[in-house]
Structure 1
Amino acid sequence: MAQPPAMPAFRYRAFISYSHRDASWADWLHKALETYRVPSRLVGTRTAAGIVPRRLVPIFRDRDELASATDLGRKVNEALAQSANLIVICSPRSATSRWVQEEVLAFKRLGRSERIFCLIVDGEPNASECQGREAEECFAPALRFRLDADGQLTAQQTEPIAADARADKDGRRNAKLKLIAGLLDISFDSLKQRELQRRNRRLTAITAAALVIMAVTTSLAIVALAARHAAEVARVDAERRQRQAENLVGFMLGDLNTKLQQVERLDIMEDVDTQAMNYFASMPTKDVTDQVLAERAKALEKIGSVRQEQGHLPEAIASYEAASTLAATLAKRAPTDTARQLQYARLLAFVGQAHWLQGQLDLAQSSFDEARNVLVQAEQHAGADLDLQFHLEMIDNDIGHVQEARGRLDEAQVSYRSALDLSTKLVAAKPDNAEWAVELGGAHNNLGKLALLHGDLATAIAEYGADDAIESALSSNHPEDNSQRESMLTVRAILGRTQALAGADDVGIHRLQESVDMASGLIKSNPHNSDFQEDFARYATQLARLKRLNGDLAPANDLTAQSLSMLTDLVHQSPTDSRLQRELAEAQTEQAAESLAAGQADAARTQAQAARSVLDPLLARQPHDRACVLATMAAQLVLADVSSDLDTAKQLRQGVVAAAKTQSSGQSDPRLLSLQVEAMLALGGKADAQRLIQQLWLSGYRDAQLLVVLHRDRIAYPANVAFQKRLLAENGTAHSSG
């Protein structure tokens, strides 16, 4: 039989091409390939790729010497030429990476297109061919199209060789084996079969150890039970054996789980947790000590937390509920034991939070209500126990969030008010407890949000101001804590933005500028922190809006450009994050408004349409999310202003009015009313708008955009002196009259 042709000698087994935003995947793949040992029965086999080696080394992934978009750097070019294969980590980030594009082109121009292998980690192949899904594309253009004789891309499509590492596709393990099979030019099934045989031999020891531990655990438990029933004199020994059994289970859930996680054996890890769950289910809850039950509850809670971290929420709920059943037994046995009541309530709260994460609001509220009842009952015996009061405050906060999400704002206000009262007492008792101070600030913030939704600007500003004072003090006491500094800049921006809604544009601009500057400083200290980048982009957009409305267009343009650049990168990193998508659309809407202010109608139209294309699907999924509703209404109004078709403009404005009227809660939100007024006036409904304008005036609302609209329509809107006096009295801050 003819031998396969000999492959030329290469210095590197493969070159890994990737976007720097997928560095964690590159790290994993580089390590996985270089540490992989080819099954011994395949080593020495001759294939079209050459003789199968024992190890896949070395793998090249050095990106440090990339010089420019057109110059990959001498070292990288040499590495490409000396690499037998090219592996491309494919995601929406790499699909738009100029480096990945140039590396693929360079490798293809070496005449080795057939030695390019793809690892899909995010996005969708060929999504760019589907209208509206272009941002999901994971293949760079150089991968999707062939080259002509001159080394230039053509329109002729090609199908890349790809392994899919996503959890619902091949998964990491199979994707790695597919890549290795391609590198060695052997069949995937053959490699997987050999790998399974080898892994089965290697895992025999650890599996046997787990089984032995379980067998010993069960045996010790049986012996313990038998001894306990045999004679009272053996009670101490039986309890000792029982503790040994529980300790072994603790090892399985602790050290063994940790080791399995380190070697990415989540399958065995899940089996261990399942076996432990079965073990606890088989154990009696009668005739055992309270200490044993408490230790079991702790172990079950740990299983629940592991499962929740893995994203297995139904399984996590099962573990938490099993733990809460044991905790309920302990709590019932000692109704005056505060620690036991707190543990039971805490586990019920964990159940509620897991339901909340799944969007199961009824089940979440049921668990939170039950937890609160436990704490209220315990309060009769514990009195003013501060730890109990803290748990009660957190439960009230959880209940308030559920009620708010269901549109029950009055009920949410009762819960938030209770949380405020409790946290106020806690901070008064222990002013140095930072955790309790944070809860107090959060309670003020929640009430400020509800006040704004109800059209009570003065109260909203007062509540946000209280939170700002708390966060500022905490940040001053802990200047090294970047997380606390981020909390401070967030509430500082919220406060400034709300003060601007009441006409204090100068104060709003100052506070927003402070937040942008703080976010910029945090980015310098940690350039890869996406939360800090999002903070900067969000508040830069809001600051740009205020500057534009106050005639400062050039700085507004600069801020919006920075925001758009940062948000575009963040959306590429997390294409399914609806919050980031909305914030990107808000920046696009602001850019459109700036273009309109500069007389660039065509640019404004394109930018507003881009915002609508992002917001429409978001609103379809979240029709009552207030931020999404307001962002969509604002984009529609800008698009209506630049529309050359009168019927289209009319439909857009009518859509704004309809959207405002169909909101199930927070209809007095002045931001909602203001956008509705703008649409009504443009539709010629001045008489209908007058009632809403009066409502806005009474609330003290003086947002700069509303003032521009009313001035254009020659509608008098003097400053509400009574409101300004109230604001000054309650907040101690002078506001401009606009």
Structure 2
Amino acid sequence: MNAPEAGNAQEGGVEASGRHYHAFISYSHADEVAAGNLHRWLEGYRIPARLVGTRTERGTVGSRISPIFRDRAELPAASCLDSEVERALAHSGALLVLCSPEAASSRWVNAEIGLFRRLHPDRPLIAALLRGEPAESFPPALVMPGPDGTPREPNAADFRRDKDGRHLARLKIVAGLTGLGLDHIIQRDAQRQMRRVIGITALAICLALAMALMLVFAIRAQREADEQRRQAEGLIEFMLTDLRDKLKGVGRLDVLQTVNERALGYYAEQSDLANLPADSLERRARILHAMGEDDHRRGDVAGAQAKFEEASRVTAALLAAAPQDPERIYAQAQSEFWLGYVVFMGFHPREALPHFRAYRALAGKLVRIAPKNPDYRHELGYAQGNLCSVGLDERGDPALLPECKAALETMLQVSRMEPGNRAIEADLANRHAWYGDALHKQGDDRAALVEREKQLAIAQDLRAFDPKNATYRVSWLLAQHSTSLLRYALGDRGEAQRMRAEARAELARLVASDPENNDWKLWQKRLAEPWPKDMVH
């Protein structure tokens, strides 16, 4: 096998003297398809132009991450496996291990890890978790204690759908191989994809003009234009939904502001709903909901209101065309929620009631259509919780307080339907909190404390599960703060003071990490206020 010369390594991701391969991929035969896909993607991935030339601990970042060695795929049939693998490992700048239950039990994978560590104790070793839990999928050689007896914790990219997912996991691997910061790669990659969207959109416009002059090719050209549009809108939706959710988990909503503005410009020219197909209308509504939420978090209430109203215009048109379609009922329910939410957060709870009641009616209709669908019952729990919030507000309607218990009971049903779902656990914690507030409003602080402590226990578990997740951290600190208020009211002043101080410290760390998040700054002001007089008995 003729390996490339070390002097050519600069054409890969990082200049590295004495390395023939940028990385060595180790995997079980059961994961051969995944290994091949990842290998092709990594060698075809181009580092964003603005990051090329950056100096990191891995060296100078080049334009590509190549070549990459994939054992059992690059070896000639007549080769001696041991000698070829040893030579490839000796000339590799990093080891990438694809982890699965089969890989954990593979003696070849474990042997390759052990050999790489002996040859290059100072070079990076990256774990890519394909399936299974870490305890059953990490090869023993990967996590065995080091020479000093300290257990090793390898850098991990989690490909599972409910964790990093394929796209973010791949970018984590790029970060590990190049030494670049993950935030920089995500931001530059998103900007690059947006430039591609703009290019595709411009090409679609040019094609449309050309097709007007060539009627004979009208049908074929129309199909091409539709595909171009779907690709452009699909990329926009990815950046404003999937990528947005990932960045929301680490408190980096500011990265998406430029994307939001460009996407809004893309759709601003398409105001005639009659000329758009149904799938474009549905995608447009979802994007407007996401953009409105981001605007509201940054404190742009007027911008959020405008986007939610436009989304409602879209979803209402869809529902009018198919009033029994569950997806369209769901989409209109989201519009009603967001319209009510922005009014409610503007301290007008009674004005939000028509929207929240409409949301409750639509969610109830979904449950009647499909009683065993956990997502629809989940929506019902949300809708009941919104009415509960109006009942709890001092300007709201106390007659709605029974909705707090109803919301908790519904969310308990959803939790039993989908055990272990972290998102549902977070929502269940909120329902315990609201029911506790309802009990406090009715004068039963002892019972209210029981519900708040249930909320705090769930929030603590979620925070321990993912300590870097900003959403979980906010849920925990708010639960900590609210529980401290009840303890203070019941006379446990010392514990209340301690809990509130911990909540303030965590919130200060969050605000420092993302100063653009208006919601966090508002909570920081509230937690700085003295103890409420009505909490003192």
Matched, 1:165 2:154: yes
Equivalent residue number for residue 102 of structure 2: 31
What SS does the corresponding residue of 2:145 show, helix, strand or coil?
A: strand
For the 8 Å contact 1:541–1:586, the answer to whether it is kept is no
Give the stretch that moved more between structures: 357-366 or 470-479: 357-366
What SS does the corresponding residue of 1:117 show, helix, strand or coil?
A: coil
1-structure distance, mates of 2:100, 2:278: 50
2-structure distance, mates of 1:424, 1:402: 22
Distance change >3 Å, CA 363–CA 635, structure 1 → 2 = closer
Superposed displacement of residue 388, structure 1 = 5.2
Superposed displacement of residue 575, structure 1 = 0.6
Equivalent residue number for residue 371 of structure 1: 266
What is the root-mean-square deviation in Å for CA atoms of aligned residues?
A: 4.4
Distance change >3 Å, CA 369–CA 32, structure 1 → 2 = same
Equivalent residue number for residue 590 of structure 1: 482
Matched, 1:117 2:145: yes
For the 8 Å contact 2:233–2:283, the answer to whether it is kept is no
Superposed displacement of residue 504, structure 1 = 5.5
For the 8 Å contact 1:348–1:368, the answer to whether it is kept is no
For the 8 Å contact 1:585–1:615, the answer to whether it is kept is yes
1:176-197 deviation digits (Å, cap 9, x = unpaired): xxxxxxxxxxxxxxxxxxxxxx
User: Which amino acid is the alignment partner of residue 117 of structure 1?
Assistant: P
For the 8 Å contact 1:447–1:463, the answer to whether it is kept is yes
For the 8 Å contact 1:444–1:463, the answer to whether it is kept is yes
Matched, 1:609 2:501: yes
1:454 to 335, 346, 350: 346
Matched, 1:551 2:443: yes
For the 8 Å contact 2:392–2:437, the answer to whether it is kept is no
2:355 to 463, 469, 476: 463
1:82-128 deviation digits (Å, cap 9, x = unpaired): xxx98896xxxxxxxxxxxxxxxxxxxxxxxxxx627xxxxxxxxxx
1:633-669 deviation digits (Å, cap 9, x = unpaired): 44333xx33xxxxxxxxxxxxxxxxxxxxxxxxxxxx
Equivalent residue number for residue 434 of structure 1: 326
Equivalent residue number for residue 650 of structure 1: none
Superposed displacement of residue 352, structure 1 = 4.0
2-structure distance, mates of 1:369, 1:572: 37
- How many aligned positions are there? 385
Counterpart mapping for 1:630-709 below 5 A: 630-637=522-529, 640-641=530-531
Q: Please, which runs of 5 or more residues in structure 2 have no aligned partner? A: 1-97, 119-132, 159-164, 175-184, 213-217, 248-253
Equivalent residue number for residue 411 of structure 2: 519
For the 8 Å contact 1:342–1:388, the answer to whether it is kept is no
1-structure distance, mates of 2:379, 2:149: 45
Higher RCO (CA 8 Å, separation ≥ 6 residues): 2
TM-score normalised by the chain length of structure 2 = 0.60
Distance change >3 Å, CA 42–CA 556, structure 1 → 2 = closer
2:431 to 534, 539, 552: 539
Superposed displacement of residue 481, structure 1 = 1.2
Superposed displacement of residue 419, structure 1 = 1.9
Equivalent residue number for residue 484 of structure 1: 376
Distance change >3 Å, CA 159–CA 498, structure 1 → 2 = farther
Distance change >3 Å, CA 548–CA 573, structure 1 → 2 = same
User: Which amino acid is the alignment partner of residue 428 of structure 1?
Assistant: A
1:561 to 441, 453, 463: 453
1-structure distance, mates of 2:467, 2:370: 35
2-structure distance, mates of 1:39, 1:611: 44
Structure having the higher Rg: 1
For the 8 Å contact 2:350–2:390, the answer to whether it is kept is no
Distance change >3 Å, CA 406–CA 455, structure 1 → 2 = same
What is the identity percentage for the equivalent residue pairs of Structure 1 and Structure 2?
Answer: 15
2-structure distance, mates of 1:601, 1:41: 58
Distance change >3 Å, CA 546–CA 341, structure 1 → 2 = farther
What SS does the corresponding residue of 2:528 show, helix, strand or coil?
A: helix
Equivalent residue number for residue 425 of structure 1: 317
1-structure distance, mates of 2:333, 2:111: 62
For the 8 Å contact 1:396–1:416, the answer to whether it is kept is yes
Distance change >3 Å, CA 391–CA 31, structure 1 → 2 = closer
1-structure distance, mates of 2:151, 2:470: 28
1-structure distance, mates of 2:350, 2:398: 17
What SS does the corresponding residue of 2:371 show, helix, strand or coil?
A: coil
2-structure distance, mates of 1:517, 1:266: 40
Counterpart mapping for 1:8-47 below 5 A: 28=99, 30-37=101-108
Q: Please, which runs of 5 or more residues in structure 1 have no aligned partner? A: 1-26, 48-60, 64-84, 90-115, 119-157, 173-260, 271-306, 642-677, 683-704, 713-738
Superposed displacement of residue 600, structure 1 = 1.3
Superposed displacement of residue 325, structure 1 = 4.9
Superposed displacement of residue 440, structure 1 = 1.2
Equivalent residue number for residue 57 of structure 2: none
What SS does the corresponding residue of 2:475 show, helix, strand or coil?
A: helix
1-structure distance, mates of 2:519, 2:343: 16
2-structure distance, mates of 1:414, 1:429: 23
2-structure distance, mates of 1:361, 1:447: 22
Distance change >3 Å, CA 338–CA 397, structure 1 → 2 = farther
What SS does the corresponding residue of 1:375 show, helix, strand or coil?
A: coil
Distance change >3 Å, CA 338–CA 507, structure 1 → 2 = farther
Counterpart mapping for 1:34-183 below 5 A: 34-37=105-108, 117=145, 159-167=148-156
Counterpart mapping for 1:141-540 below 5 A: 159-167=148-156, 313-314=190-191, 316-317=193-194, 320-321=197-198, 323-334=200-211, 343-353=227-237, 356=240, 357=244, 359-376=254-271, 379=272, 383=275, 386-387=278-279, 389-401=281-293, 403-502=295-394, 506-540=398-432
What SS does the corresponding residue of 2:108 show, helix, strand or coil?
A: coil
2-structure distance, mates of 1:482, 1:33: 35
For the 8 Å contact 2:456–2:480, the answer to whether it is kept is yes
1-structure distance, mates of 2:113, 2:101: 22
Superposed displacement of residue 399, structure 1 = 4.8
2-structure distance, mates of 1:385, 1:315: 27
Equivalent residue number for residue 70 of structure 1: none
Equivalent residue number for residue 473 of structure 2: 581
1-structure distance, mates of 2:193, 2:454: 41
Superposed displacement of residue 390, structure 1 = 4.0
2-structure distance, mates of 1:560, 1:88: 41
Superposed displacement of residue 340, structure 1 = 5.8
Give the stretch that moved more between structures: 541-550 or 473-482: 541-550
